[in-house]
Amino acid sequence: MNEAHSEAIAEIARRHADIHRHLAVLEEVLRAMEVGADSGTVRGDLERAPGEAALEGLVKFFTQEVCDLLRLEEEILFPPLERDLNEIGGPVAALGLEHEQLRRMIREFAQAVLTWSQRESEHAGAAEAVLSSARRLRELLRIHIEKEEAVLFRLIPKVFTRADRQRAAARLRAWSKGKAIMLMLLWGMSGGGEREVWAQEHGGGTGGQSRVGSTERRFTVHGELRLRWEWREGQLFGGGVRAGEKDGYVLTRVRIGMEARPTQWLRVLLQGQDAQAMGFLGEPDPPLVEDTFDLRQAVVEVFDQRRQGWGLRLGRQELRFGDERLLGAFDWGNTARSFDAVRFFYARPQYRIDLFAASVVAIRDGAFNTHRAGENLYGLYGSFQNVIPNGVLEGYALWRTRPRVVGERGGRGDADVFTVGTRWVGTMSASLDYRLETAGQWGRWGEDVVRAWALHAQLGYRIRPTGLSPRVVVEYNQASGDRDPQDGRRQTFDQLYPTNHDKYGIADVVGWQNMRNVRLGVGLRLGPRITAQVDYHSFWLASPRDALYSAGGAPIARLHPVEGAVLPTHVGQEVDVDVRIALPHQVSLATGYAHLFPGRFLIRAAPGASVSFAYTMLSYRF
């Protein structure tokens, strides 16, 4: 590892390399066993069967060193990611699920080796059990390490503050020192080998963990400096698609936060944010890009530091769930998004359930940001691991209220929209993964009846072995649109409060409303700190009598029906290129370009218009 990574990540990378060396040994042992089986070798033919001593050493390595590494990652890497991402069913949850799978496979492998070494009869069947369990463990370990180095190591430089790095280093030193002391004491007693196993099974470092409280800092300061240049053509912020419109501008964002943890179960977070736009067309600058210094988060959290049991989070905070297609912090936006909310939750290793009441904070530049009375969101969100093989199953029920809305026929009233959905995320093999989300909506919008739905489906396949580690993605998205704008039935899906950037093209022309979208993409790892994503999108309207809605949910193009004429639905085709670079000292650089080639719908709705978008972003976190 290079200097850009913390001491903790360097240590974990070193252990990854050690695992690869032991996997190479395992490969040789398996090959020898397979040759022995093919030649008819049985236990009585040799003093010891091929690889038996090596297998016993591998069992010791997996049950001690690998399980030790899993605990280390869960203690020093996962908590900062959970704090900043504040998500359910995302990368941390997926990696945690794989940790449980690895522990189960290690136990199965150890039991298979024990049975094989002790039983004289049915030795061929026992050997087959060793081969089968070892192959499964080998494949999952390889893909897990690859995911951590491609995803976790990429996120840590962005998420870790200076305090996080110091805390991780302190934990690592305490862990290593405590482990060494404990093992020396245990080996000095009778039954040293058995006591060493006992120490590993019960944490392997009691002394180190007891020092955590004294080495961790209870008060930390963290922040972010972000600078982004953007250029748009054909569709500007908050406007429709129009030929000839261009704008180039610079966005800045400064965040400063203070976090206190006076006890193991209490956390207090305050975060301020200043967002500015320079060179932006139009006055005043819209709330999406500018908000002079204001309070972004003010949270009191009551939750055990071990991240299990009952918890309460009260105050101004982020809400992130799943892929953030319906509920997210929209961190790409210059002013982002937060909620005034109260959130209860119960967490266990295999599941978590959240119950919350929230109101989105409205940006008011020049005044204190507050939520709007009556615009509320109530939700129940559950995430369950191992309900489906190698996956996470999530379910949610959301209730959004808005006062004084206008229906299709001009009638006024309040809105009550209920959304119920499920999300499935998992792997079907070491290379193949999937995501599926469905949501249905009903309720009332003023005097109108709400009936809408949406679908997201994705298959990902990682091609290996290859240096670029390409991951190919095939994806389909659809959200219902209104078939008749005068029938009193509102069929346009409400995407609620999403983080839509990069989900339906980085140009942000299309949102999850009245749309059909096919995406083909490939992600590449160009270097240890460089990743690239290249995507192709094709968009259609679900209903030609409804509008095209942007990523933010605003209608930006519409065709008016002509009697006897068939309205086109093809919006266009978009090509995206996005590159991310992790630089030293917690600095990251990103740049991208997108172009939307108009289809028949846009050609008629906005003659001569095509949409282009480019950006370059530099950010620093401390």
CA distance 611 to 614: 10
Domain boundary among 116, 143, 160: 160
186 lies in some domain:
no
Question: Do the domain assignments include residue 121?
Answer: yes
User: Are the C-beta atoms of residues 231 and 593 closer than 8 Å to each other?
Assistant: no
What is the structure's pLDDT at 6?
54
121 and 227 inside one domain: no
- Whose CA is closest to 515, among 578, 564, 577, 452? 452
226 and 156 in a single domain? The answer is no
Q: In this predicted structure, what is the pLDDT of residue 183? A: 47
Residue 295 to residue 255: CA distance in whole angstroms? 10
Examine the fold and report which residue of 106, 141, 160 is the final residue of a domain before the chain moves on.
160
Predicted local confidence at residue 191, as pLDDT: 42
Cα–Cα distance for residue pair 275/336, rounded to 1 Å: 9
HEC letters along 306-322: CCCEEEEEEEEECCCCC
125 shares a domain with 266: no
| 495 found inside a domain | yes
Q: How many CA atoms lie within 13 A of 374 on its CB side?
A: 8
Q: Are 77 and 91 in contact (CB under 8 A)?
A: no
DSSP 264-330: TTEEEEEEEEEEEEES-SSSSPPTTT-EEEEEEEEEEEEE-TTS-EEEEEEEEE----TTSSSB---
Instruction: Provide the CA 263 distance to its chain's centre, in angstroms.
Output: 29
Q: CA 12, CA 14: separation in Å to the nearest integer? A: 5
Closest C-alpha among 613, 607, 591 to residue 537: 613
Residue 195: the pLDDT is: 35
pLDDT score, position 158:
67
CA atoms of 396 and 382, how far apart (whole Å): 6
Q: Are residues 331 and 409 in the same domain?
A: yes
37 lies in some domain: yes
Would you state the structure tokens that stand for residue 385, as one six-digit string? Answer: 């691991």
Say yes or no: 139 and 227 in one domain.
Answer: no
29 contacts 58 by C-beta, under 8 angstroms = yes
Cα distance between residue 265 and residue 306, in whole Å: 9
Residue 421 confidence (pLDDT): 97
Supply the CATH number for residue 97's domain: 1.20.120
Task: Identify which of 266, 334, 339 has the alpha carbon closest to the alpha carbon of residue 297.
Answer: 339
Number of domains in the chain: 2
Domain that holds residue 465: 222-231+257-621
Same domain, residue pair 149 and 227: no
- 242 within domain boundaries: no
Mean pLDDT by 10 residues, the chain (622 residues): 53 83 84 60 41 80 87 80 59 77 86 72 64 84 80 71 72 62 46 38 37 53 94 82 87 95 91 92 81 95 83 95 92 95 90 95 91 95 86 94 91 95 88 93 95 97 79 96 92 96 93 97 87 96 95 91 85 96 86 96 90 95 83
Residue 178 has a pLDDT of 54
**147 and 263 in one domain?**
no
Q: How many CA atoms, within 13 angstroms, populate the side-chain half-sphere of residue 242?
A: 9
Total Cβ atoms within 10 A of residue 234: 25
Select from 129, 160, 191 the last residue of a domain. 160
Q: Which of 355, 358, 360 is nearest to 333 (CA)?
A: 360
- Whether residues 129 and 227 share a domain: the answer is no
575 within some domain? yes
Quickly tell me which residue has 């203690």 as its tokens.
75
- Domain membership flag for residue 46: yes
Distances (CA, A) of 509 to 33, 506, 569, 609: 58, 8, 15, 13
CATH code, 420: 2.40.160.100
How many Å apart are CA 37 and CA 376, to the nearest integer?
A: 66
- Dmax over Cα atoms in the chain, in whole Å? 93
250 located within any domain: no
